[in-house]
């Protein structure tokens, strides 16, 4: 009887261990996307993948920390207007973005994994005609968070400031990209703008510049 009891107890323990392992795995792979965004460090990089760029395929980007930790990918999505999906390191969708086809001046809208709004970046069309590169940044409810200025000479910088002029975040693309783009993203006021949005802003800019380069090469 003792041996039977021991075997039954062992079987129960194995079942509990198995259930615990399944639960732990489920927790890992079903982590809420909002938590994934919080897990992104205050400094990370968005790196364009080489092979899609080489063969003119839809853009793909790797999201990495300073220690080269994998935080996921951004992939160009097939759509009527420029669009992206964002995935975590396990390949689960954490967000998306698309360009508004009907906006006067470029407007990019950002969403979480359930397609709930995260915010928008709206180009100031008048400033754009003057070559100033100014954008209004709004939150999920359409309220103004602040504005972004684009500086593009040899390198490219986007600075995002809140309504009082304090720096929220900066995106920087270096002077001499090695065949593909690499963006450095620094967040100075975490929680004001979703980091998924910041990552996809970089992707939109690279895609736009690649399109211009391809059109120029055809002339």
The pLDDT profile of the chain, 219 residues, written as one tens digit per residue, is: 443 344 444 444 444 444 433 333 334 344 555 565 558 999 999 999 988 777 778 899 999 998 889 999 999 998 889 999 999 999 999 999 999 988 888 899 999 999 999 999 999 877 666 667 799 999 999 999 999 998 887 789 999 999 999 999 999 998 766 678 999 999 999 999 999 999 999 999 999 988 887 777 776
Domain identity same for 76 and 13: no
20 shares its domain with 85: no
Per the structure, the count of domains in the chain is 2
75 shares its domain with 138: yes
Kindly give the pairing relationship between strand 43-48 and strand 182-187: antiparallel
Are 26 and 132 part of one and the same domain?
A: no
Query: Are 100 and 17 part of one and the same domain?
Result: no
Let me know whether 61 and 88 are in one domain.
Answer: yes
Are residues 3 and 49 located together in one domain of the fold?
no
- Residues 25, 112: one domain? no
User: Residue 39's closest CA among 72, 9, 15, 6?
Assistant: 72
pTM (2 d.p.): 0.79
The Cβ-side half-sphere exposure at 178, using a 13 Å CA radius, reads: 3
For residue 67, the number of C-alpha atoms closer than 13 Å in the C-beta half-sphere is 4
- Regarding whether 155 and 96 lie in a shared domain, the answer is yes
Domain that holds residue 5: 1-30
pLDDT at 20: 37
pLDDT of residue 194: 95
Residue 175 sits in a domain of what CATH number? 2.40.160.200
């Amino acid at each position: 009887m003792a041996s039977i009891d021991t075997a039954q107890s062992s079987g129960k323990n194995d079942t509990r261990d198995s259930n615990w392992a399944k639960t732990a795995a489920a927790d890992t792979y079903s982590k809420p996307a909002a938590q994934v965004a919080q897990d992104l460090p205050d400094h990370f990089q968005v790196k364009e993948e080489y092979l899609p760029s080489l063969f003119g395929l839809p853009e793909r980007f790797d999201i990495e920390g300073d220690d080269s930790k994998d935080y996921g990918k951004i992939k160009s999505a097939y759509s009527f207007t420029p669009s992206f999906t964002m995935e975590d390191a396990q390949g689960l969708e954490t967000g998306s973005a698309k360009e508004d086809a009907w906006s006067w001046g470029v407007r990019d809208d950002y969403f979480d994994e359930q397609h709930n709004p995260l915010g928008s970046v709206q180009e100031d069309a008048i400033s754009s005609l003057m070559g100033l590169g100014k954008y209004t940044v709004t939150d999920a409810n359409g309220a103004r968070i602040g504005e972004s200025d684009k500086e593009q000479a040899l390198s490219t910088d986007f600075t995002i400031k809140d309504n009082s002029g304090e720096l929220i975040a900066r995106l920087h693309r270096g002077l001499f990209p090695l065949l593909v783009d690499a963006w450095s993203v620094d967040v100075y006021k975490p929680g004001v703008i979703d980091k998924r949005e910041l990552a996809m802003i970089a992707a939109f800019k690279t895609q736009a510049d690649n399109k211009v380069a391809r059109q120029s090469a055809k002339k």
